[in-house]
Structure 1
Amino acid sequence: MKNLISLLILFLGVIIFKAQQKVISIVKYEELEKRIQEEGEKLLVVNFWSTTCAPCVKELPHFMEVNNKNADNPKFKMILVSLDRLVDKERVIKFIKNKNLTAEVILLDDIKRMNTWIPRFEKKWDGNIPVTIFYKNGEKVHFNDGEMSKEELENIITKYL
């Protein structure tokens, strides 16, 4: 009985920790690019968003549903790249908790060089968000400019997974 209770407490602790990211990684473009390459054979969904972008906030519940559905798949990974300012880091962390974001969230602190790194991600990207880029084996396989429905997201994931 003691073992069962200990196991239950450990399980609940892991769930609460995963659902409430308390620390957010702050990266520059080069670090994000390296992370994308390191994910290897996974289908990597990289969503660029901001807490102040209404379409971004609107689509996030769809992304969380899909992320939770694929959480146990070792060939799938989702990263939410916040383009909020570094001074708004605490607001982003609070947003993560309030919206129960379960995907990994990182803060891209590289606004001054946007005109350099945006075209490196996608030449057609005009800088507007939300934008979602799908990678397989470190190579871009799909670019989506604008808000995505759950169905669109699932269809692209199914196609490349």
Structure 2
Amino acid sequence: MKNVLTILVVFLCCTLCNAQQTEVSALKYEDLEKKIQSEKDKFLVVNFWATTCAPCLKELPHFMEVNNQYAGNPKFKMLLVSLDRLVDKEKVLKFIKNKSLTAEVVLLDDIKRMNIWIPRFEKEWDGNIPVTIFYKNGEKIHFNDGEMSKEELEKTITENL
């Protein structure tokens, strides 16, 4: 009986860790900013990407491997911010399912104001993606402009978590 319970608990944990989103929230910049601030107690990895961006798609499997590594750590969270258009929301949802994305995905529906919010995230950001911003205790600690290797991602996390 004890073995059956252990197996059940392990199965449920694995299922929850690998659960995929069934809905994607569309946010304005201010909502995303509040969401980031609400995660003050976590080491937060925020990746800006799009389904049409080849370097983004190349790095996403590395991000999912690392996200799955830290899935049991309550002090870690990964947030994938899609810059796809709002009309492509279903495409993004299908992409999440097809690529087995386990990190939370939101859609930043604020393209018309990108010249306002891009420099608010990072003055050095020229608008290209992928971009990854790392936060610790609600403060930005690292900005990565461009594609990240799994090793770079892991190094940044282990040095700061």
**Cα 1:9–1:45 shift into 2, 3 Å:** closer
- Secondary structure, aligned partner of 1:22: coil
Amino acid in structure 1 at the alignment position of 2:150: K
- Structure 2 distance, partners of 1:87, 1:12, is 35
**Cα 1:9–1:80 shift into 2, 3 Å:** same
CA contact (8 A) 2:17 2:102 kept: no
Number of residue pairs aligned between Structure 1 and Structure 2: 158
Q: Does 1:152 align with 2:152?
A: yes
In the alignment, what sits opposite 2:110?
110
CA contact (8 A) 2:17 2:71 kept: no
Amino acid in structure 2 at the alignment position of 1:26: A
- Structure 1 distance, partners of 2:131, 2:117, is 14
In the alignment, what sits opposite 1:140?
140
Give 1:13 shift: 9.5
Amino acid in structure 1 at the alignment position of 2:53: C
In the alignment, what sits opposite 2:81?
81
- Structure 1 distance, partners of 2:91, 2:63, is 20
In the alignment, what sits opposite 2:92?
92
> Which stretches of structure 1, 4 residues or more, deviate above 3 A after TM superposition?
7-14, 16-19
- Structure 2 distance, partners of 1:16, 1:78, is 15
Give the TM-score normalised by the residue count of structure 1.
0.91
In the alignment, what sits opposite 1:37?
37
- Structure 2 distance, partners of 1:138, 1:10, is 32
CA contact (8 A) 1:19 1:97 kept: no
In the alignment, what sits opposite 1:71?
71
TM-superposition CA deviations, 1:75-129 (whole Å, max 9, x none): 1000000000000000000000000000000000001100000000000000000
Amino acid in structure 2 at the alignment position of 1:48: F
Structure 1 residue ranges without an equivalent (≥5): none
- Structure 2 distance, partners of 1:66, 1:18, is 13
- Structure 2 distance, partners of 1:15, 1:145, is 33
CA contact (8 A) 1:46 1:81 kept: yes
- Structure 2 distance, partners of 1:93, 1:123, is 30
- Secondary structure, aligned partner of 1:120: helix
> What RMSD, in angstroms, separates the aligned Cα atoms of the two structures?
2.0
Structure 2 residue ranges without an equivalent (≥5): none
